[in-house]
Structure 1
Amino acid sequence: MRVTQSMLSNNMLRNLSNSYNKMGKVQNQIETGKKVTRPSDDPVVAMKGIGYRTALDKVEQFQRNIGEVNNWLDSSDDAFDKVGSALQRANELAVKAANGTTTVDDQEKIKSELDQLRQHIQNIANTKVGDKYIFSGTKTTTAPFDTSANPPAYVELNDAAGNPINQGFIKDVEIEVFDGINLKVNTNAIDVFKNIDQMFQDIKDGTVEFSEAIGKIDKQMNDILTTRADIGARQNRVELMDDRLQSQEVIATKQMSENEDVDMEKAITEMITQESIHRAALSVGARIIQPSLVDFLR
């Protein structure tokens, strides 16, 4: 087979082009820190990268959900803390009124303060997180204590015949915090608030004496503590889920890094090697392209 000058020149140019492409690829890896910049560079790495990124995005979304769960639970716990403080003050007033030394006028003043405490708890029942009522079950746009009613009252869960109505007020609001794991974020406390409100009404009407009211207030305070214990238990679980999500985030990030990030030392070494090969190719090419007759005729 006869090898011509044009064949040598074409082969040299093709090899130089390939050498440039290899150097460009390694240079791009060093500049971006990634093994691939397009799926065609390595389809397997690209497909795995999509999977790892999807997993990481899901973890980040669950972490945002955890923040929303904490917002609901913290607000609920704070609300019941304020209710407990109000009941504690009501207990002090009841004890004071029941000791037999207070006058009728003093008892009326105490009833007036108890009425203010009652209104304070009614306001707490309408606590909102953002634009959602947290004690209204799934009916988050409707306040559990209807101030527009005449007279203002809590929403009824049963009609006059005892048939269930407004059952959305006692349904659970759940937020997904992991694949297939939903946590209840609301507290079904409308009955608790209604019982407290009825107790204050009985004291106001005089159907319950102050001495008897002390025991009733104490019972309502125990109910509040039970409710707060349930909230606390869920807060502890949220912390466990948050720790799990943080671990999953580290794992997903590590897997994605191992899959996509370039080994910088290896890439730099390869770049130096490619540069040496390219320089050698240029040197050999200069020797291959010999002067032609045209060069002598200039």
Structure 2
Amino acid sequence: MRVTQSMLSTNMLRNLTTSYTKMGKLNDQLTTGKKVNRPSDDPVVAMRGLAYRMQTDKVEQYQRNIGEVNNWLDSTDDALDKVGEALKRARELVGSAANGTMTEEDRDKVKAELSQLREQIQDIANTKVGDKYLFSGTKTGTPLYKDGAYPQLSTDAENPASGPTAFESDVNIDVFDGVKLNVNSTSAKMFKDIDDMFESFVGSDADFNKGLTDVDNQMDALLTERASVGARMNRVELMDNRLEAQEGIAKKQQSLNEDIDYEKVITEMISQESVHRAALSVGARIIQPSLVDFLR
């Protein structure tokens, strides 16, 4: 086959273009620190990168959900702690009123303070996190204590229901794939029982001796509820640690898939520059002056 000057020139220009393309790709990698800057660079790496990014974004969303869970549980525990303080004071007052030496006037003063404690606990029953009521079950937009009364519950002996009402239902938040955590305290019955107990103290036939046992029973119910909240807080901490580990794994895999080895790429860049300079030098020798150049 006859090799012409035109063929030599065309091949040289094509090789130079290929060399420029390689150097351009290496320069993009050094500038961005990524192996792939467009899907066409390496479709497999690009697809894996999308999968790792989706995993990382999912973990970050779950971590935000964990923050919401902590907000609910911390607020619930604080509210229940305030209920406990009110019940402790109520026990002191009931114990004083149970003393047979107390005058009727003094008992009226005790009842007045017990009424204030009752109102305090009613306010706590309507504690909110943001715009959501903590103790209203799935009816987060409705206060538990409303219009001077608590709602009818499935546990009410006078009004039994086929199943839990919305005020007794769990609020769950996703914290991992297929994992939900109960964030609310279904304490509607407890608040209602406490309110009924306080109501029994303000009547003229109040039995303060029995009241001591009633307060102790309500404090036991409160401690049980707080223990449940504490157990869930411990689980949230474990789940948070798990998410941190998952985030680290996902980001590590993403880095291994996408990030360049700077030393390796710099070495390739230097080698490609040497090849390119050699190609330019050889090309200068290939493109010899033509007869037309001598005739000028």
Category of TM-score, reference length = shorter chain: over 0.9
CA contact (8 A) 1:69 1:185 kept: yes
Aligned residue in 1 for 2:2 = 2
Listed one character per residue, the Cα deviations across residues 81-129 of structure 1 (whole Å, up to 9, x for unaligned) are 0000000111111122223333211111111111000000000000111
Aligned residue in 1 for 2:271 = 273
CA contact (8 A) 1:157 1:164 kept: no
Counterpart CA distance in 2 for 1:260 and 1:78 is: 46
Which segments of 5 or more consecutive residues in structure 1 lack a partner in the other structure?
none
* Cα separation, partners in 2 of 1:56 and 1:161, compared to 1, 3 Å: closer
Cα RMSD, aligned residues only: 1.5
Counterpart CA distance in 1 for 2:162 and 2:133 is: 21
Counterpart CA distance in 2 for 1:13 and 1:90 is: 95
Moved more, 85-94 or 159-168: 159-168
Aligned residue in 1 for 2:224 = 226
Is 1:113 aligned to 2:100, yes or no?
Answer: no
1:211 shift after superposition: 2.3
Secondary structure in structure 2 of the residue aligned to 1:153: coil
Counterpart CA distance in 1 for 2:159 and 2:225 is: 29
Counterpart CA distance in 2 for 1:18 and 1:174 is: 58
Secondary structure in structure 1 of the residue aligned to 2:245: helix
Is 1:153 aligned to 2:149, yes or no?
Answer: yes
* Cα separation, partners in 2 of 1:291 and 1:277, compared to 1, 3 Å: same
1:201 shift after superposition: 0.3
TM-score between the two structures when normalised by the length of structure 1? 0.95
Counterpart CA distance in 2 for 1:161 and 1:27 is: 76
CA contact (8 A) 1:157 1:165 kept: no
Aligned residue in 2 for 1:286 = 284
Moved more, 199-208 or 164-173: 164-173
Counterpart CA distance in 2 for 1:165 and 1:39 is: 55
Aligned residue in 2 for 1:52 = 52
CA contact (8 A) 1:23 1:274 kept: yes
One-letter amino acid of the counterpart of residue 288, structure 1: I
* Cα separation, partners in 2 of 1:251 and 1:65, compared to 1, 3 Å: same
CA contact (8 A) 1:139 1:168 kept: yes
Is 1:258 aligned to 2:256, yes or no?
Answer: yes
Aligned pairs for 1:91-240 within 5 A: 91-146=91-146, 149=147, 152-157=148-153, 162-163=160-161, 167-240=165-238
1:219 shift after superposition: 1.2
CA contact (8 A) 2:95 2:209 kept: yes
Aligned residue in 2 for 1:86 = 86
Counterpart CA distance in 1 for 2:165 and 2:237 is: 30
Counterpart CA distance in 2 for 1:164 and 1:207 is: 35
Counterpart CA distance in 1 for 2:273 and 2:234 is: 59
1:164 shift after superposition: 5.2
Secondary structure in structure 2 of the residue aligned to 1:156: coil
CA contact (8 A) 1:5 1:289 kept: yes
One-letter amino acid of the counterpart of residue 16, structure 1: L
1:33 shift after superposition: 0.5
* Cα separation, partners in 2 of 1:207 and 1:189, compared to 1, 3 Å: farther
1:69 shift after superposition: 0.8
Which segments of 5 or more consecutive residues in structure 2 lack a partner in the other structure?
none
One-letter amino acid of the counterpart of residue 68, structure 1: E
Listed one character per residue, the Cα deviations across residues 171-215 of structure 1 (whole Å, up to 9, x for unaligned) are 111111111111111111000001100000001014432222122
One-letter amino acid of the counterpart of residue 91, structure 2: N
Query: What percent of counterpart residues are identical?
Result: 64
Counterpart CA distance in 1 for 2:235 and 2:160 is: 37
Aligned residue in 2 for 1:244 = 242
CA contact (8 A) 2:144 2:151 kept: yes
One-letter amino acid of the counterpart of residue 23, structure 1: M
One-letter amino acid of the counterpart of residue 44, structure 1: V
Counterpart CA distance in 2 for 1:180 and 1:33 is: 36
